[in-house]
Amino acid sequence: MSWGHATSKDLTHWEEQPIALLARGFPDNVTEMFFTGSAVADVNNTSGFGADGKVPLVAMYTSFYPIAQTLPSGKKVKASQQSQSIAYSLDDGTTWHTYDSENPVIHYPPTPYKDQYENFRDPFVFWHDQSHKWVLITAISELHKLVIWTSDNLKEWSAVSEFGPFNAVGGVWECPNIFQLPLDGDEVSTKWVMAAGVNPGGPPETVGSGTQFFVGDFNGTTFVPDASSVYPGNGTANWMDWGPDFYAANSYNGLPDTDHVSIGWMNNWQYGENIPTYPWRSAMAAPRHLSLRTIDQKVTLVQQPRIDWKSITSHKKHSQSWKSVAEGTEDLGSRGKTLEINLSFDDRQQDSATSDFGIILQATSDMQQQTRVGYDFKARKVFLDRRKSGDVSFDKTFASVYHAPLVPNADGVVRLKVLVDWSSVEIFGGDGESTLTAQIFPSENATYARLFSTGGSTENVKLDTSDLSSIWH
C-alpha cells in the first residue's frame, strides 16, 4: 500500500497526481507500507520543517513493517508491526520527505496495550485552538479503543486519554475522525463528533464495513459522549451512512466549523477486491458538508453533497409534477447514467402490508436490470434495492436491500436527493439526516427510469432530474 494523491480547487473536479508516498522498496523488496493517515498545514512551523518562509504540510500515517528490521532512526520494529510516522512537504504536497531520522514518532501503543502493535493504526491529526496543541486520534483496533494524544511540535507525542469500546463492536475499529460542529447553526453552542470505522459489523442489513459516530464534548484531552449517543449492549449505533459502501470517512483540516467537509471511501471490505472493475477499485463518495441539527429532540448529523453544481449540471433538466401517481409504474424514459435527482411526495396512510413509493434507476429498457430507490411508508424508512443492479454475481451478499430511518418533515412531505453515477447511488433523505450509499454495476445501456407506487396512489409528486457532466477533463 502507498499514498495516492489527487488535487482539486472545488472538491468536484479532480486531477490525479504522482503517488505521494510509495511503499519503501517497491516492488521487489518492500520494507515499509504507508497505511491510512491525515495531514495538516503547520502554519506556525511548530515542527521546524518549514524553510524559506514556506509553510510545511505534515502528514501522519501508519507505517506497516512486513519484516522485522532496524530502521534508519535506530528503532527496531517487529514483523507486521504498525507504528505512526510523519512526512513533510514544502511544495504544497507535490513531493514528500519522510522523517527518517526519528520515524516512527509513535513507536508503540500506550504501555498497557503494547502487545497490540499489529493493530495500532490510522492517525487523524488536527490543531486544537483552545489548548494550543496538536491532537491525534489513533485506533487500537482489536480492542475497540481510540487513543487521544497531544503534541506541541508534531514530533513528540503524549497519550492523554482513551475512548471506547461503545456501541458497534462487531469488528475492528479503525480510521477514527474527530471534529467540532455548531449545533443548530449556533457557532457559540458547539458539539464534537467522534467517528470510527467498524469492519466487519457495519449497519444492519449490510455485511462488512461501516462508519459509526458519537456526539459529545471534547476539552483538548478527553472526549465524553452524550448519554443519548451511547446505547446499552452491543451492536446498536449511530451510523454515518446506512448503506454498504461508505467507509473510512475523513474530514478536511483547516476549514471553518460552518463549512466542515468529509469524504468517504465508497466500497466495502466484504467484496472490495472482487468488484467487477479493472484496473480501478471503486471511488470516493461525494464530499459531504456536515452539520448538527436537533431533530425530534435528538442531536443529528446532517450531510449534504459539497459539490460545485454549476460546473457539472448541464442544461438538460427535467421538472415534472403529478397531483397523484396511481398504483403501478410511470415510465420516465431514458434519463442517462449521471444524474442529480430531487424527488418529493406526500406521506400517506398505510392501507396495505406493502406501501411504498419511489424511482427505478439505471434500468435496461426491459427492466431486467434495475435499481430501486424508494420510501416505505409503514416502516418510515428510505430503501435501496440492488438485487437486480446488473452484475451482482461476484459476492453472495451483494444482491441485497438496504434501509435507513427517515421521518417525513413537519409538512408531511418526504424528500429524497439522489446522486447517480455509472456505478453508484448516493441517497440523501430529508435535509440529509439520513444517507444511504451503494455501488451498482449495470450494463452501459441501463439508462431508463420509472416511478413506482405500491399499496395505493401517492400524492403531490415532484421530480427534478439534471444531467451531470463528467468531472474528468
Other beta carbons within 10 angstroms of residue 130's beta carbon come to 9
Average pLDDT over residues 4-15: 93
State which fold the 164-306 domain adopts: Tachylectin-2; Chain A (2.115.10)
Per-residue exposure over 250-284, b if at least 16 CB sit within 10 Å of its own CB, e if not: bbbeeeeeeebebbbbbbbbbbbeebeeeeeebbe
Per-residue exposure over 433-443, b if at least 16 CB sit within 10 Å of its own CB, e if not: bbbbbbbbbbe
Distance in angstroms (rounded) separating the CA atoms of residues 106 and 468: 45
pLDDT band of residue 36 (cuts 50, 70, 90) is very high
Chain centre to alpha carbon of residue 34 = 20
Judged against a pLDDT cut of 80, whether residue 235 lies above it is answered with no
Residue with cell 452539520: 291
Average pLDDT over residues 127-143: 97
Per-residue pLDDT tens for 145-160? 999 999 999 999 999 9
Candidates 2.130.10.10, 2.115.10.20, 1.10.10.10, 1.10.1270.20; CATH matching 1-135: 2.115.10.20
Judged against a pLDDT cut of 60, whether residue 473 lies above it is answered with no
Please tell me whether residue 440 adopts helix, strand or coil conformation.
coil
Q: What contacts 348, CB < 8 A, 6 or more positions away?
A: 355, 377, 456, 458, 459
Per-residue pLDDT tens for 82-97? 999 999 999 999 999 9
Per-residue pLDDT tens for 171-209? 999 999 999 999 999 989 999 999 999 999 999 999 999
Per-residue pLDDT tens for 356-367? 999 999 999 999
Domain spans, the chain: 1-135, 164-306, 315-468
H/E segment holding residue 127: strand 120-128
Judged against a pLDDT cut of 60, whether residue 398 lies above it is answered with yes
Q: Which residues pair with 213 in a beta bridge?
A: 195, 238
Q: Which residues pair with 371 in a beta bridge?
A: 361
Cell numbers given for 155: 514530533
Supply the pLDDT for residue 471. Answer: 82
- Give the CA angle between residues 142, 148, 152 to the nearest 5°: 140
Residue with cell 469524504: 263
Per-residue exposure over 183-211, b if at least 16 CB sit within 10 Å of its own CB, e if not: beeeeeeebbbbbbbbbebbbeebbbbbb
Q: Which residues pair with 319 in a beta bridge?
A: 464
Best CA proximity match to 163, nearest among 224, 251, 220, 79: 224
- Give the CA angle between residues 203, 206, 212 to the nearest 5°: 25
- Give the CA angle between residues 13, 16, 19 to the nearest 5°: 150
Chain centre to alpha carbon of residue 447 = 27
Phi then psi for residue 113, to 5 deg, are: -120, 25
Per-residue pLDDT tens for 321-374? 999 999 999 999 999 999 999 999 999 987 778 899 999 999 999 999 999 999
Tell me whether the CATH fold assigned to 1-135 matches the one assigned to 164-306: yes
Distance in angstroms (rounded) separating the CA atoms of residues 337 and 264: 22
Supply the pLDDT for residue 316. Answer: 79
Best CA proximity match to 25, nearest among 61, 62, 71, 59: 71
Distance in angstroms (rounded) separating the CA atoms of residues 269 and 266: 10
User: For strand 210-218 and strand 15-16, is the pairing parallel, antiparallel, or unpaired?
Assistant: unpaired
pLDDT band of residue 263 (cuts 50, 70, 90) is very high
Question: If you average pLDDT over every residue of the chain, what do you get?
Answer: 96
The CATH class of 315-468 is mainly beta
Phi then psi for residue 39, to 5 deg, are: -145, 155
Average pLDDT over residues 88-112: 97
Average pLDDT over residues 427-436: 98
Judged against a pLDDT cut of 90, whether residue 280 lies above it is answered with no
Phi then psi for residue 175, to 5 deg, are: 50, 60
Residue with cell 455548531: 182
Distance in angstroms (rounded) separating the CA atoms of residues 2 and 24: 9
Average pLDDT over residues 62-83: 98
